[in-house]
Amino acid sequence: VQAIAYIALGSNLGDSRRTVLRAMERLQELSGQPLVKSSLLETTPVDCPPGSPNFVNAAVGLVPRAGETPESLLAKLQQLEREFGRTAKKILNEARPLDLDLIAFGNETRATPELTLPHLRAHLRRFVLEPLAEIAPNLVLAGQGSSVVELLRQLTSGEVVRRLQ
Ligand code: ADP
Ligand code: MG
């Protein structure tokens, strides 16, 4: 079985829906197989400055190409963020045209500030788990005792507003 990399997409600046759809097209180029895509969700901001716009969130699964590592994939995700107009942040969780978080890369684990795998906060965030549950309901993230749908069921916060497509 080929390892799958799961990526969470988020945008709350500019034409977020279009940005997320275009970013998915670019992510397809990084995958050896057709991308597995969730629908787009509108969500309310979490831990963001007051007055932050709503987000569009989604998740995709891709099959990394031969030789791709978690580090090389993250570098490509960060390059894509810049391509879509992301600049160095000045304020914690300020509005951004595109955020691409690597949620998991097969069963790989990492524990550095530059790369933590699975992503540190993924299992706590409805805006990550909800789209992920559409494409990988039974995925168990390393270090978690429960699958994505089970984690989702355990959450009490409710930031998803609506499904956009
Ligand atoms: P956030 O996603 O929390 O809004 P950023 O996108 O600005 O914040 O990312 C902050 C840092 O998180 C980046 O410098 C990146 O190196 C680091 N990072 C650590 N683990 C991961 C991961 N799994 N996916 C994406 N970025 C990560
Ligand atoms: Mg990020």
Between the alpha carbon of residue 80 and those of residues 12, 71, 85, 159, the distances in Å are: 16, 14, 9, 26
pLDDT digits (tens, 9 = 90+) for 110-150: 999 999 999 999 999 999 999 999 999 999 999 999 999 99
Is-contact 93 115, C-beta < 8 A?
A: no
Residue 160 has pLDDT above 90, yes or no: no
Residue 2 has pLDDT above 90, yes or no: no
Supply the residue whose CA is at minimum distance from atom 7 of ligand 1: 89
**7 in contact with ligand 1, CB cutoff 6 A:** no
CA quadruple 150, 155, 156, 160: dihedral positive or negative? negative
Residue 32 has pLDDT above 90, yes or no: yes
> Residue by residue, what is the 3-state secondary structure of 50-104?
CCCCCEEEEEEEECECCCCCHHHHHHHHHHHHHHCCCCCCCCCCCCCCCEEEEEE
Write down the residue that tokens 């168990």 correspond to.
140
Catalytic residues: 86, 96, 99, 101
Q: Which ligand is nearest to the CA of 125?
A: 1
The predicted model gives 29-35 an average pLDDT of 97
